[in-house]
A = this chain, B = another copy of it.
Amino acid sequence: MTHDCSFLEALDLEDDQLSFAEGRRESHAADWGAEQRGRGVQPDAVVWPESTADVAAVLAAATDHGVPVTPYAAGSGLEGNAVPADGGISLDLTRLDDVIDYRPDDFQIDVGSGVIGSAVDEYVADDGLFFPPLPSSGDISTVGGMIATDASGMKTVRYGEVADWVLGLEAVLADGTIVQTGSRAVKTSSGYNLTDLIVGSEGTLAVITEATLELAGRPHQIRGGRAIFETLDDAAEAVFDAIRTDVDVARIELVDGLSARMANAYLDTDLPDAPMVFLEFHANHGVDEEIDLCRTIFEDHDVARFEMSDDDAEMDALWQARRELAYAVASYDPALEPLHPGDVTVPISRYPEIVNEAKRLGEAFDLLVPCFGHAGDGNLHYTVLVDPNDEAMVERGEELYAAIVNRALDVGGTATGEHGIGQGKREYLEAEHGAGAVETMRRVKRALDPTGTLNPGKIFPETAQAALEQKRDRQE
């Protein structure tokens, strides 16, 4: 589907803020997830706003002309969240990259939505502060993108997800209305919580232009290391036991034996191809006592090795397999490609069950399914590897992928802990939330974006085309 976007030329934009060129359109056709699966869709135009006023002008005009707008930034989403599924305008927010205000005494910073996540950390480091929920893609992803998907990261087990660190937003509705949400006060009971409504809405309700983020003080004590287990069940039960015992851990990452094998092959290391748990502890006092408590619990689950360090280089070395895992998985077998990025999250008491189920299904379907994830949150990432030329294998892979999502939902979990619904998880929305909640979400969507301008074809299960038809029906 193509849309006539020539009306953009009438807006007050510089030449380098607007492009209809094939190359620029192609570079905004996909995100990491969609690219992997060859599912990009070229927008008809790309616009680079340099101010909130630019965003408002583009949105108001696009809504007037019935042209969809899909926000875009780093393109590091994994569920096609930034794919312009119905064409139209890709709104590239990366030039909104200013630090607008910084208030270290209040642990607060106001940034443009195009600021890279790790740049926030760098900006505040000299004051001993950091932005705790930074995802693993923090060196690439923008603040706006992280907020739009309610991302989280390895340290979420101790510090919470991105939503927990957003005090307020500036955002623009589809009709160009500029909205300020939240407060600089750390708590408020005033009016509806529009901040958390926009967080995680994947650009379907509003375009985020600025964010007020909270920061944390860096802990005085940091220790990191690795535990190696005999069996996957031991490792998963050990994690559950540590979390249930309220061990104060800042990262606790599970890597299954298959992933360990891939890491060993990639890194040419001679660690056992065994399940591992990577750990980091943050504290101002008593970090060693907390590590001892964790070690005692892990010993109850027959931990084979438990290595911990307070030296940065040693910690890096102990974490190497986890850090390089994504590359190890991607390069393990040139004939195999990842199918979808699994991201289920379950209550921690069900974590051993979901981990074992993923392993069992891999064996039953005769597929390689390396599993890893932010175990302390109950978050399991699993990558189904298939030969894209083998139709039967792809079909088995799809079936396996879905079986794990459905099991997660059965035990009270979520189809996506941190990647968002995007295009990839839409079919699970109603199974997870029920008809009443999904209808309520639709009402909110229609209230804030009645013409369906913003990011069509995402979150809700109808196709982009069906959404477009609904929009036309409403307009007639």
Q: Which residues of chain A have a CB within 8 Å of any CB of chain B?
A: 103, 105-106, 108, 149-152, 156, 161, 163-164, 173, 177-181, 183-194, 196-197, 199-201, 205, 217, 240, 244, 246, 248, 283-287, 289-290, 343, 345-349, 377-379, 412-421, 425, 428-429, 432-434, 436-441, 443-448, 459
> How far is the CB of A208 from the nearest CB of chain B, in Å?
14
Q: Are B432 and A377 in contact (CB under 8 A)?
A: no
Q: Quick one: given A191-B432, A192-B205, are A345 and B447 in contact (CB under 8 Å)? A: no
Which chain B residues border A447 with CB–CB below 8 Å?
443-444, 446-447
**Residue of chain B at shortest CB distance from A447:** B447
User: CA of A437 to CA of B172 in the docked complex: distance in angstroms?
Assistant: 10
A416–B191 alpha-carbon span in the complex (Å): 9
Contacts of A419 in B (CB 8 A): 189
Q: Complex formed: what's the CA distance from A415 to B191 in Å?
A: 10
Closest 3 CB pairs of A and B: A285-B286, A447-B447, A184-B412
Partner of A197, one of B196, B348, B436: B196
Question: In the complex where A180-B437, A284-B248, A421-B191 touch, is A348 in contact with B205 (Cβ < 8 A)?
Answer: no
Number of copies of chain A assembled together: 2
9 CB < 8 A contacts A-B: A150-B188, A184-B413, A185-B347, A188-B416, A189-B343, A191-B421, A191-B432, A192-B197, A285-B290
Given A188-B417, A189-B414; 7 other pairs, CB 8 A cutoff = A149-B189, A184-B412, A185-B379, A187-B379, A190-B414, A191-B429, A191-B437
Given A285-B285, A290-B285, A349:B106 Cβ within 8 A = yes
A59–chain B nearest beta-carbon distance, Å: 13
Closest partner residue, chain B, to A204 (CB atom): B192
Q: How far is the CA of A347 from the CA of B105 in the complex (A)?
A: 9
Q: Which residues of B contact A186 (CB under 8 A)?
A: 345, 347-348, 377-378
* Choice from B191, B413, B444, B459 contacting A185 with Cβ under 8 Å: B413
Bound-complex Cα distance A244 to B104 (A): 8
The chain B residue with its CB closest to the CB of A432 is: B190
The reply to whether A189 and B151 contact each other, CB–CB distance below 8 Å, is yes
- With A196-B196, A348-B106 known as contacts, the answer to whether A156 contacts B187 (CB < 8 A) is yes
Pairwise interchain contact A183-B285, C-beta atoms closer than 8 A: no
Q: Which residue of B lies closest to A435 (CB)?
A: B177
- Tell me which of B178, B187, B193, B378 contacts A152 (CB under 8 A): B187
- How many Å lie between the Cα of A416 and that of B285 in the bound state? 35
Contact of A432 among B183, B347, B434 (CB under 8 A): B183
